[in-house]
Amino acid sequence: MTSQIDQPPAIAIRDLVKRYAGIKGEPGKLALKGVSFDVPQGGIFGLLGPNGAGKSTLINILAGLVTKTSGNAEIWGFDIDANTRNAKRSIGIVPQEIVFDPFFTPYEVLENQAGFYGIAKSLRRSEALLAAVHLADKRDAYARTLSGGMKRRLLIAKAMVHSPPILVLDEPTAGVDVELRRLLWELVTQLNDDGVTVVLTTHYLEEAEQLCDRIAIINHGELIANKPTREMVDMAREKIVAVTVDSDLAVAPVHEAFIKTELSGPRGVEVTYDKDNLSAGQVLAILQEQGLAIQDVTTREADLEDVFVSLTSAGA
């Protein structure tokens, strides 16, 4: 899962803008507002953001399914406009929506895709791909008889038919059960171990935190963070002390050493502070100096969820 800095990026995105066409002369939705970032080779890169952030728009531009308004993108060094064919050959995309012709079998789906890429019969890997996604026993079943989870796995196999160095999965685990999620994570990790650079979009923080070595956060069409996962988690340096006091409070106590304070009820106060600068004991001492009689105390560490919420709400 290491990504090397001296290698060219797997994907390079520069100033990407997408404005969808508006209806009846209305200006269309500005889904991407000039996004730039690199996806390093060799890792699992998470593009994280709430619904409507612009994740699928970005992926679909890379896939050639949506036309960009302006900006550039290179896939494996190939410009998507100047070298469309090679750019497309370098990437396999698992779309968010599941679409199959219901009358093809998994084996036929993969063979058709191989035909589409002009892969000689002797070089096709349909059986091996079906085995890799645990669908060998469904080889000859009609696609319409597959469960949702099987269809998703088939889509991954389909995206890998032409052995691209990059695999992109758009919301692979949205709405899937825990068991399938685990299986998909295993598949993705296995492909990455085999040398495939993986990009996945998700709105599940936990998923990005567990799977990805680098996370970019997009919100309202803008990139608001792009860091190694560990650094992103380190941003969660905030800690919270919640206290209950013995009389009703009209306003939350304030102090310059606190990041913020909030009333959590008539007698409850939550103090957020940077744990590198202050201890929980010091927080309590400050509150007591302000005349509060503390009856109960609990503490909580901020997690990636809090970082995400504070980053995405800042630009809202």
Q: Which is nearer to Mg ion, 56 or 219 (CB)?
A: 56
CB of 65 to Mg ion, least distance (A): 12
Paired sense of beta strands 260-265 and 222-228, if any:
unpaired
Distance between CA atoms of residues 110 and 108, nearest Å: 5
Q: Does 57 bind Mg ion (CB under 5 A)?
A: no
How many residues of this chain bind ligand ADP (CB under 6 A)?
Answer: 11
Q: Does 60 bind Mg ion (CB under 5 A)?
A: no
CB of 170 to ligand ADP, least distance (A): 7
Which position among 9, 34, 52, 95 is part of the footprint of ligand ADP (CB under 6 A)? Answer: 52
Give the 3-state secondary structure of residue 88: helix
Distance between CA atoms of residues 287 and 239, nearest Å: 16
CB of 11 to ligand ADP, least distance (A): 17
Residue of 59, 63, 13 lying closest to 38 (CA atoms): 13
Q: Does 51 bind ligand ADP (CB under 6 A)?
A: yes
Per partner kind, with CB cut-offs from 5 to 8 A, the member of ligand ADP, Mg ion, none near residue 239 is none
Q: Which is nearer to Mg ion, 58 or 283 (CB)?
A: 58
Q: Sheet holding 44-48: strands in order across?
A: 91-94, 166-170, 197-202, 44-48, 214-219, 222-228
Q: How many helices (H) and strands (E) does the chain have?
A: 10, 14
Per partner kind, with CB cut-offs from 5 to 8 A, the member of ligand ADP, Mg ion, none near residue 173 is none
Window contacting ligand ADP (CB under 6 A); options: 51-59, 79-87, 114-122, 297-305: 51-59
Contact at 8 Å (CB) between 174 and 203?
A: yes
Which residues touch 125 (CB under 8 Å, ≥6 apart)?
Answer: 161, 163
Which position among 42, 43, 46, 54 is part of the footprint of ligand ADP (CB under 6 A)? Answer: 54
Residues that bind Mg ion (CB under 5 A): 55-56, 96
